[in-house]
Amino acid sequence: MTRWLRWTAGIVLTGVPLLLAIAGPWLVDGSPTRKRAFSSGADHPLGTDFVGRDVWQQVLLGGRTVLLVALLATALAYVVAVPWGIAAALGRRRFVDELLMRPLDVVLALPSLLLLLLLATIAPSGSLTLVGIVALLNLPGLTRIVRAAALEIGSRPAVEAMRLQGEGWWRITVGYVARSMLRTLAADLGTRFTGALYLVASASFLGVGVPPDASDWAVMVDRNRPGLFVQPWAVIAPALLIVALSVGVNLLFDRVLAARSRSDLRGAAS
Amino acid sequence: MAGLSPGRYALRRLLVGVLQVFAVATAVFLLTEALPGDAAVALAGDNPDPARIEQIRRVMRLDQPLAERFADWLGGLFRFDLGVSLVSQRPVTAFLTDGLAPTMLLAALTLLVLVPVAVLLGVVAAVREGSPLDRAVTTVSVGLHAIPEFALAIVLVAVFGVQLRWLPPTAVGVGDNLLRQPAVLVLPLVVLLARPICSISRLVRAGMIEALHADYVRHARRLGLSPGRVRLRHALPNAVAAAVPQLAHTTDWLLGGVIVVEAVFVIPGLGTTLVDAVAARDLPVVQGLVVFFAVTTVLVNLVADIVSFRLSPRTEVVR
């Protein structure tokens, strides 16, 4: 019963913001009209924002960038980290491993949000920059996971057998090692994505990498703060959507992992 | 690492820490060089008037050779001289000393509350493994764990600061001595605690469950020691040892969280200083703060690694 409840909670909490973020921009009708800032009225269910735009319309428009930047950053991190980690683990020489892994330690020596702010100071602002920075911040952790998994898989008898059989490097690494670690990577995906979402939203809130009047949930929270006393929905609605999305995604991935480890146990028992 | 004495381990770990700080200081310096084109023009940003560019070039001494500037930067670090701000010409160290008190207060109070609460939650959940209480704690911590601080903060401010009016919504007008009005600190602390409490209590819970099922605990029980004594004296230290490195890792988050929380609650600490400097593209201030935060992070991790080495010397702590 509670399990059912947790699934539903995860799905609803993820689904609502996800739906708004994806379908929202298509639901916006008409061009934005400017009214008085922080006013409310019958034609504005959630009132108006700091420059007098309709809050509901901004909510519909504002999810896409947050979601897209977080998704792209996560994907980019995987694309770079998987070959990097495998190369470090399966390289013939020890110094290659050191050479590949040590530079990443520098990134780990700094709090991620701090590094994000530092890089944003010198990089040209824009969504793509944010994608690159957030991907870079996720790189060390992910590469370590990949490397650890590749080390374990690379020492399996199956790999030894493939080598003896004269299989090529490509078939062994991509065909076997990379494929075998898919489960490990899938287990990491949930936290990786919520981590990226966290960084992207926090950066946008602090005004990094986004124009100050962008239609973006995190930017809305920041810019509409002065109106918190008169027109709280302009702040609360986007903040709640971000909260729901992060909580939902986390709950959902937790459930999926739990369900899978249960079915693994059953499989091992039979 | 069998047979490594705590002293030797500490020394080795210290060496790694020094190298890390050196690497960060070098990387932070070289970032200026990574700026596309003329660094002074890039930093002038939206208002590239020649006077400002000339001034940036002079303050950052961009006309001097790279090696000389690098030697000066490293030498300055030892003398606690981090250059001057591009905007106000104030020394960067003055920014540091101004913002230090509120930030340290927030971080210290957070850690002070975090450790006992997280350990208690973890232990209670572990002792009643599988009970409704355990499941409630676990589910809530899975959910809360990922919420960005600013979103949580603004929701709490709206509810407790604006609607119910129980707590002040921001620290505006309190000044830098936040302790004069402790009510101001409640919401920032709750926000800062939310994420780390979740992760630490989950680790303590997992460590405690493992310890409670271990042979030595079973043995202690068979010897007739009271359950409370077994839990507190035998199982708990091992459970906590596993959580210490994560506690250090939490300081990374904490520093990130402090930046956001200070921005939300308008607290005049290092985070606010940093965000302002980023907005103004005031590179020397940003560099100085980053080096300062890096030293703090490296130090905390150093201490944590040595502590967990002392607690369970069997395992070398790899971060």
pLDDT tens, B56-80?
777 777 777 778 788 888 888 887 7
Nearest residue to B40 (alpha-carbon basis) of B56, B23, B21 = B56
**Which pLDDT score is estimated for B316?**
46
Q: Identify the band that residue A135 occupies on the pLDDT scale cut at 50, 70 and 90.
A: very high
CATH, range A68-214: 1.10.3720.10
**Which pLDDT score is estimated for B46?**
64
Residue B70 lies in a domain: no
**Which pLDDT score is estimated for A71?**
93
| End-to-end CA, chain B | 15
Q: Cβ B23–A105 below 8 Å, yes or no?
A: yes
Q: How many CB atoms lie within 10 A of CB A182?
A: 11
Instruction: Enter the tokens of residue A217.
Output: 């949930």
Chain A residues closer than 8 Å to B144 by CB: 247
State chain B's mean pLDDT as an integer.
79
Nearest to A221 among B154, B278, B319 (CB): B154
Q: Are B6 and B310 in contact (CB under 8 A)?
A: yes
Look up the pTM and report it. 0.83
Check which CATH number belongs to the domain holding B224 and give it.
1.10.3720.10
Q: Cβ A243–B155 below 8 Å, yes or no?
A: yes
Most confident of A65-69, B54-58, B76-80, B90-94: A65-69
* Alpha carbon separation from A183 to A143, A179, A188, A202, A260 (Å, rounded): 15, 9, 9, 29, 10
Residue B176 lies in a domain: yes
Residue B16 lies in a domain: yes
Residues shown for chain A: 270
Tell me the H-state helices in chain A: 2-27, 55-90, 94-108, 112-122, 127-154, 157-164, 169-170, 179-180, 182-205, 217-223, 233-269
**Which pLDDT score is estimated for A80?**
92
Instruction: Output A84 or B220, whichever has higher pLDDT.
Output: A84
Q: Cβ A236–B154 below 8 Å, yes or no?
A: yes
B317 CA: distance to closest CA in chain A (Å)? 15
ipTM: 0.81
Domain boundaries, chain A: 68-214
Residue B76 lies in a domain: no
In tens, the pLDDT along B135-188 reads: 888 888 887 877 888 888 888 888 887 878 787 777 776 666 667 777 788 888
B272 interfacial to chain A (CB closer than 8 Å): no
Residue B1 lies in a domain: no
Q: Identify the band that residue B318 occupies on the pLDDT scale cut at 50, 70 and 90.
A: very low
Instruction: Enter the tokens of residue B212.
Output: 């409670």
Total number of domains in chain B: 1
Residue B73 lies in a domain: no
Nearest residue to B106 (alpha-carbon basis) of B191, B185, B199 = B185
Tell me which residue range forms the domain holding B90.
Answer: 6-35+82-311
Nearest to B23 among A106, A113, A251 (CB): A106
Query: What is the number of helices (H) and of strands (E) in chain A?
Result: 11, 0
B151 interfacial to chain A (CB closer than 8 Å): yes
B232 CA: distance to closest CA in chain A (Å)? 30
A199 CA: distance to closest CA in chain B (Å)? 8
Q: Cβ A109–B142 below 8 Å, yes or no?
A: no
In tens, the pLDDT along B14-40 reads: 888 888 888 888 888 887 676 665 666
A118 CA: distance to closest CA in chain B (Å)? 7
Percent of chain B at pLDDT exceeding 90 = 0
**Which pLDDT score is estimated for B1?**
44
In tens, the pLDDT along A220-259 reads: 888 888 877 778 888 888 889 999 998 888 888 888 887 7
Q: Identify the band that residue B319 occupies on the pLDDT scale cut at 50, 70 and 90.
A: very low
**Which pLDDT score is estimated for A78?**
92
Nearest to A109 among B24, B139, B253 (CB): B24
Q: Identify the band that residue B195 occupies on the pLDDT scale cut at 50, 70 and 90.
A: confident
Instruction: Enter the tokens of residue A21.
Output: 């973020």
pLDDT higher than 80, residue A187:
no
User: Which residue of B lies nearest to A236 if distances are taken between CA atoms?
Assistant: B155
Q: Are B155 and B163 in contact (CB under 8 A)?
A: no
Dihedral of alpha carbons A18, A23, A29, A33, sign: positive
* Alpha carbon separation from B265 to A231, B255, B272 (Å, rounded): 18, 15, 10
**Which pLDDT score is estimated for A31?**
65
User: Which residue of B lies nearest to A220 if distances are taken between CA atoms?
Assistant: B151
Q: Are A247 and B143 in contact (CB under 8 A)?
A: yes
A165 burial via Cβ count (<10 Å: 0-12, 13-18, 19+): exposed
Sequence-distant (6+) residues with CB within 8 A of A54 are A32, A33, A35, A44, A46, A48
pLDDT higher than 60, residue A55:
yes
**Which pLDDT score is estimated for B175?**
66
A105 CA: distance to closest CA in chain B (Å)? 8
Q: Are B124 and B133 in contact (CB under 8 A)?
A: yes
**Which pLDDT score is estimated for B38?**
64
Q: Cβ A121–B286 below 8 Å, yes or no?
A: yes
Q: Cβ A106–B252 below 8 Å, yes or no?
A: no
Q: Cβ B293–A111 below 8 Å, yes or no?
A: yes
pLDDT higher than 70, residue A269:
no
**Which pLDDT score is estimated for B317?**
42
